[in-house]
Amino acid sequence: MREEHKGSTPGLIVERNQLTKVNTFPSVEFTIPPSDPPTERVISKCHSHQTPTADALAQTEKSDALEGGQHPSAALRDEEALSVTTTNQGEVSYPEGGLEAWLVVLGSFLGAFIAFGMMNTIGIFHSYLGENQLKDYSESTVGWIFSVFVFLSFFCGIQIGPIFDAHGPKLLVATGSALMVATSFLLGVCTQYWHFLIVFGILGGTGASLIFTPAFGAIGHFFLEKRANATGIAAAGGSLGGIIFPLMLQDLLPRVGFAWSTRIMGFIFLFCGIIAVSLVKSRLPPKRGQSVMPDLLILRHRGYLLLTLGTYFMEWALFVPITYLTTFATSTGTLSSSFSYQLIAIFNAGSCLGRWAPGYLADRLGRFNSMIATLALCAATSVTLWLPTAVLTPTPENAPTIKALIIVFAVTFGFASGSNISLTPVCVGQLCETNQYGRYYATCYTIVSFGTLTGIPIAGALIQAAGGSYWGVVVWTFVCYLVSLGCFLWSRACQVGWKLGEKY
């Protein structure tokens, strides 16, 4: 009987010649023919841009082993070692679900809880350190600590991706978890500016990248058609961390002090990291060969250039509200210090839903379409909700209006910005073939990471230039999102035209 296979299949493998297996980055697979090809196999192109790899070779090797007298159980072990699901037509397929796949998503969720949870809490650390240990430093100077953290979280993925492809995610996630635990324990003994820059900025940023880059990459080994949805669910872990950690710090800081508050965070990181390491795994066989270093020549692709610019401006603005929302709320005088800390938790509550819902819709309505909708909402909420609170005089008559606008902005912008990080990689994947994805992704985020490095200090400088007022920061955020929206619209038009109803 013919076995019926379930799951998504990105393409057919037609027997012809043998392909050389090469690298992946960060969650896709590809193969490139050698320069002097012996017997090859040709892989058919498909609309999803996903190219099958070594599983058909595994079938051939199994048959050859049986014909050569190898024991059947040994051949079966060789096949299982590759862990690639195939159909009887030689198709590579993705489970698109099942216990093993969703356990990987759970492990990635916990990894994001650590890495992005810390990233979504930088507003609390910025506010507390600016009022205590680093009170003699300007907003812009303190902001460099957190911009270095965000910069390294993205920039280091260029080097971590190929290591993940070659050796799998476990060692990387374990090392990243250890660095995040060390960061939390060491923060308590930091007293000077350079201490915080090294511990939080460099050590923490490297640890965060070591966790979420392979954790999210592993999801691509189990999902193709539902990849945006699965990635959105995993990314929601970061928003959950952004809810729990601010509320926890608000309660612990006055009771046990800064040192023990951060140590308790470290114990939580240790527990979640152990589970994440045990659950996150790769499924596709290791690849050899190709480098995925950035290549500026591919910026000649107009649609890709516009997407890169759009992502740059988006990331330039994204971490400004995350970092300065607490200090802004305190500066208005309409919210208490304790409620200002809770505002980050409210922001991340909206973001938690925003990480999942757009990803779910993206698989059905189009990845670019979903990204464009969320960017438009980010720009709209910045100018209609945040700007009025920044220009209104905080008088007793205006206080209820300002407070209400800040809360609504936190929830709405949190929801709208939730997908900014999780949808960008899948949008990049739609503009290139699978065997080009590594270079395209690396080039994009090499450029974008410098936006994350400078965005927070620029916002701090704008606050100083405006005499402590935040209207300049709000305008900056709005303009960046508006430019990003225009770039994504133009990039989409380069691919499918200006038809609004086209799924893309």
Q: How many domains in the chain?
A: 2
**What do you get for the CA distance between the two ends of the chain, in Å?**
38
pLDDT of residue 113: 93
CB distance 315 to 451 below 8 Å: yes
132 and 71 in a common domain: no
110 and 74 in a common domain: no
30 and 116 in a common domain: no
- Closest Cα partner for 360 from 463, 263, 230, 479? 230
302 and 159 in a common domain: yes
User: Domain for residue 7, yes or no?
Assistant: no
| Rounded-to-integer distance, Cα 94 and Cα 52, Å | 10
pLDDT of residue 70: 45
| Rounded-to-integer distance, Cα 368 and Cα 259, Å | 44
Mapped onto helix, strand or coil, the DSSP state of residue 368 is helix
CATH number of residue 435's parent domain:
1.20.1250.20
| Rounded-to-integer distance, Cα 155 and Cα 148, Å | 10
Lowest mean pLDDT among 4-18, 183-197, 274-288: 4-18
| Rounded-to-integer distance, Cα 291 and Cα 166, Å | 12
Give the containing element (helix H, strand E) for 331. Answer: helix 302-332
3-state secondary structure 151-197: HHHHHCHHHHHHHHHHHCCHHHHHHHHHHHHHHHHHHCCCCCHHHHH
264 and 302 in a common domain: yes
Flag whether pLDDT at 334 surpasses 70.
yes
CA distances for 8 relative to 165, 228, 368, angstroms: 21, 14, 21
Alpha carbons within 13 A on the beta-carbon side of 225: 14
Contacts of 284 (CB under 8 A, 6+ apart): 24, 29, 53, 54, 83, 84, 221
441 and 405 in a common domain: yes
Radius of gyration of the chain from Cα atoms? 24
Greatest Cα pair distance in the chain: 89
- What amino acid occupies position 143? G
Range of the domain at 34: 13-82
User: Domain for residue 91, yes or no?
Assistant: no
pLDDT of residue 11: 46
Average pLDDT over residues 7-23: 42
The bridge status of strand 20-21 relative to strand 31-32 is antiparallel
pLDDT of residue 80: 36
Q: If you write DSSP's letter for every residue of 33-90 in order, what string do you get? A: --SS-SS-EEEPP-TT-----THHHHHHHHHHHHHTT--HHHHHHHHHHH---B-TT-
User: Domain for residue 93, yes or no?
Assistant: no
52 and 140 in a common domain: no
pLDDT-derived band at 479 (thresholds 50, 70, 90) equals very high
- Residue whose structure tokens are 């603005």: 317
479 and 383 in a common domain: yes
110 and 42 in a common domain: no
Mapped onto helix, strand or coil, the DSSP state of residue 32 is strand
- What amino acid occupies position 421? I
CA distances for 236 relative to 59, 110, 157, 351, 416, angstroms: 38, 10, 20, 8, 13
pLDDT of residue 364: 81
pLDDT of residue 311: 93
User: Domain for residue 92, yes or no?
Assistant: no
User: Domain for residue 45, yes or no?
Assistant: yes
Buried b (16+ CB within 10 A) or exposed e, 381-407: bbbebbbbbbebebeeebeeebbebbb
| Rounded-to-integer distance, Cα 218 and Cα 231, Å | 10
User: What does DSSP assign to residue 8?
Assistant: B
Q: How many CB atoms lie within 10 A of CB 302?
A: 13
User: Domain for residue 136, yes or no?
Assistant: yes
78 and 103 in a common domain: no
What does the CA dihedral 442, 444, 447, 448 come to, rounded to 10 degrees? -110
- What amino acid occupies position 91? E
Q: If you write DSSP's letter for every residue of 447-480 in order, what string do you get? A: HHHHHHHHHHHHHHHHHHHTTT-SHHHHHHHHHH
User: Domain for residue 6, yes or no?
Assistant: no
Mapped onto helix, strand or coil, the DSSP state of residue 238 is helix
State which of 53, 82, 111 marks the end of a domain.
Answer: 82
Quote the mean pLDDT of the chain.
Answer: 78
Lowest mean pLDDT among 85-99, 137-151, 467-481: 85-99
Lowest mean pLDDT among 53-57, 111-115, 430-434, 458-462: 53-57
CB distance 464 to 140 below 8 Å: yes
| pLDDT single digits (tens) 213-260 | 788 878 878 887 777 788 888 888 888 998 899 999 989 999 999 999
pLDDT of residue 336: 82
Flag whether pLDDT at 149 surpasses 80.
yes
Q: Would the pTM of this model clear 0.75, i.e. be above it?
A: no
| Rounded-to-integer distance, Cα 248 and Cα 261, Å | 8
- Closest Cα partner for 497 from 318, 368, 334? 368
Mapped onto helix, strand or coil, the DSSP state of residue 271 is helix
| pLDDT single digits (tens) 425-469 | 778 878 876 556 667 777 888 888 888 888 889 998 999 888 888
In total, the chain counts a number of residues equal to: 504
| Rounded-to-integer distance, Cα 26 and Cα 227, Å | 13
| Rounded-to-integer distance, Cα 231 and Cα 220, Å | 9
Peptide bond into 169 cis (omega under 30): no
User: Domain for residue 121, yes or no?
Assistant: yes
pLDDT-derived band at 87 (thresholds 50, 70, 90) equals very low
Average pLDDT over residues 96-105: 87
275 and 370 in a common domain: yes
| pLDDT single digits (tens) 259-305 | 999 999 999 999 999 999 999 988 776 555 555 666 778 888 899 99
State which of 30, 47, 82 marks the end of a domain.
Answer: 82
192 and 46 in a common domain: no
| Rounded-to-integer distance, Cα 205 and Cα 197, Å | 10
| pLDDT single digits (tens) 349-402 | 888 887 777 777 777 888 899 899 999 999 999 999 999 998 887 888 888 888
State which of 82, 112, 131 marks the end of a domain.
Answer: 82
Average pLDDT over residues 470-498: 93
